Amino acid sequence: AVLLPEGDSAAPARAKDGGPTEAESRAAHNAEMRAQSDVCNGLRAKFVLSHWDKFVPFMLPQFRPLDSNLALKLRAAADKVPEPPPHTRRPVHRQPDCIEGGEMHTYQLEGLRWLIAQHDKGAGGILGDEMGLGKTLQVISLLGYLRSVRKEEGPHIVVAPLSVMNNWVTEIKRWCPILRVVPFHGPQSERERIKREHLILGNFDVVCTTYEMLVADIYTVQRFHWGYIVLDEAHRIKNDKTLMGQAVRRLRSSHRLLITGTPLQNNMHELWSLLNFLYPEVLSRSDAFDKEWRGDAVKKEADADAAAAVEDGTPAAAEGAEEGEVPAEPADDPIETADESLLVAAHALLQPLMLRRLKKDVVGSMQIPPKREIKVLVPLSEMQRFWYSRMLTSETSGLLAGQAETYRRLNSLVMQLRKVCNHPFLFEEADANKDWTDETIVQASGKMIVLDKLLAKLKAEGRKVLVFSQFTSMLDVLGDFMQYRQYKYLRLDGSTTVARRRYEIAAFQNPRSDVFVYLISTRAGGLGITLTAADTVVLYDSDWNPAIDQQAQDRAHRFGQKRPVTVFRLITRGSVEQRILQTAESKIYMNAMVMQDG
């Protein structure tokens, strides 16, 4: 059947072979998808009712009783769904025949069985395996299985960050050639061509697009009724008030699947937002949830931290990027002091909704070597102490005087202090030798002194190194340093084109390459690339969000790595960076409590 978005009529009224008109095909397809959706809604209602006690803490108070209007409505939907014949639910014991690109690991087959079970329950879910365990392949095998065995053809849509969208297209073609995949991305002229040649004609099974493109062309995408909406790096919709969060909620589908290993990065509202996408009819509004579980505790904590920051320059919520470098997401709220009962409730709800495996649990040490992280506390250099004191004395007087926009000033102060901790040359007036590079570039920064000694040792051992920084201006300084020491290096940041990125990654991965260091912007290079030629990672500075740093480390620590990976995290002693690390570790603890990783 031809799959057509509602409202398009680009072909003749009647097909040449006497088949149905476009309007008839469109109506038939929409009726079929609505019928499938009704069944899925009934199955999902059964699932919610069977786990009612787990959903209750996240619901509006008026919906919590089992005799509420919501519960009665769900029960009516569930009663309409007949039990499927037993023969239609055969378990999967081996790799589906449609998967041709290689052999799936045992745990990936277990993941496929879990996805199929969630599909049959209408439950959706969160595939939360640790990065590097092949979540993409598991989802591809599900879509391929549904098409080849269940004859459920979709269509489906995968929404992913730009850095991994092309990887989805490549992996679908490699592992499951029967799935016709179409990338929906590019300028408007290219998207119009894709609409004419694929979307309107319906000759596709899976559309791959980006979050940004979804927002830009929501009018086209929302006109389809999708079989599956798959959101990769689903924490991108953790803020349900953003255009991105609202756009994905406008899509119609029978099933929804989230892919993220970090459903909770900063606060419990982010988890609620993801669950709201999966179950909008059950978790319709967050205001009662936020009020009940958070109250004014977050405000009190933020105020206390802001007051403390006047003394040490470390607010709990200052996150962002330098001028000219757009953050990947809005600045996060201050981490909340989560009530233990809420953490227990969140863990209980995720049990039936999320599949989470760690590398250490599913693969032997011979396949992925171990990783260790070393925190290196570095003192400020004499020049850094001067600039650190200057920043504090010049800014804190305005804060203490109670001037307007205090919070914005506080964020700005923390950003300036972070730059001082990295290198004083990030301030133009501090660099007296703008036209040449000498030993001053090393001695001006405590971190650079440590990095200089570390790289000399690693170079002698024949290793390759990844150096991550939050600031592109810091990558500029590091580039000058690499040239001064005559180290061959590459650089990846948000301005690097896709073609150049692919070429330089291949060059770095080549065993015969003499490239020693890869300088990478943490936000731009933390996803979608494999750099297993390196066995050493240097985090020159840390992110407020620990998941960002974890993703950066996993560029080297993933399948294909043959050597143990060492991560050096540089931290300036007695500075704003130690408070940032404390905040990040609190988030790690909260996530571990909910996920039960340790």
Residue type, 373: E
pLDDT tens digits, 205-249: 999 999 999 999 998 888 888 999 999 989 888 888 888 888 999
Numbers of helices and strands, H then E, in the chain: 24, 13
Q: Domain 22-284 has what CATH class? A: alpha beta
Rounded Cα–Cα distance for residues 359 and 561 (Å): 13
Nearest one of 494, 186, 212 to 327, comparing CA atoms: 494
Q: Is 525 left (phi over 0), alpha (psi -120 to 50) or beta?
A: alpha
Stated length of the chain: 598
pLDDT tens digits, 459-468: 999 999 999 9
- Least confident span in 18-32, 471-485, 527-541, 568-582: 18-32
pTM for the whole structure: 0.76
Residues of the chain above pLDDT 90, percent: 34
Structure tokens, 432: 């007296």
pLDDT at position 19 is 63
Nearest one of 401, 421, 426, 474 to 314, comparing CA atoms: 421
> How do the domains of the chain map onto residue ranges?
22-284, 297-347, 368-379+436-595
Q: Which long-range contacts (CB under 8 A, 24 or more apart) does 239-242 make?
A: 239/270, 239/273, 239/329, 239/330, 240/273, 240/276, 240/277, 240/286, 242/330
* Intrachain domains 22-284 and 368-379+436-595 with the same fold: yes
pLDDT tens digits, 501-512: 889 999 999 989
Mean pLDDT of the chain: 80
Question: What band does 475 get if pLDDT is binned at 50, 70 and 90?
Answer: very high
Q: Are strands 252-259 and 565-572 parallel, antiparallel or unpaired?
A: unpaired
End-to-end, the C-alpha distance of the chain in Å comes to 50
pLDDT at position 349 is 85
Domain 368-379+436-595 of CATH type 3.40.50.300? yes
Q: What is the 3-state secondary structure (H, E, C) of 228-244?
A: EEEEECHHHHCCCCCHH
Contact criterion met (CB below 8 Å) for 567 and 371: yes
pLDDT tens digits, 417-453: 999 999 999 888 776 676 677 888 999 999 999 999 9
pLDDT at position 140 is 96
The mean per-residue pLDDT over the stretch 557-582 comes to 89
- Least confident span in 310-319, 324-333, 488-497, 527-536: 310-319
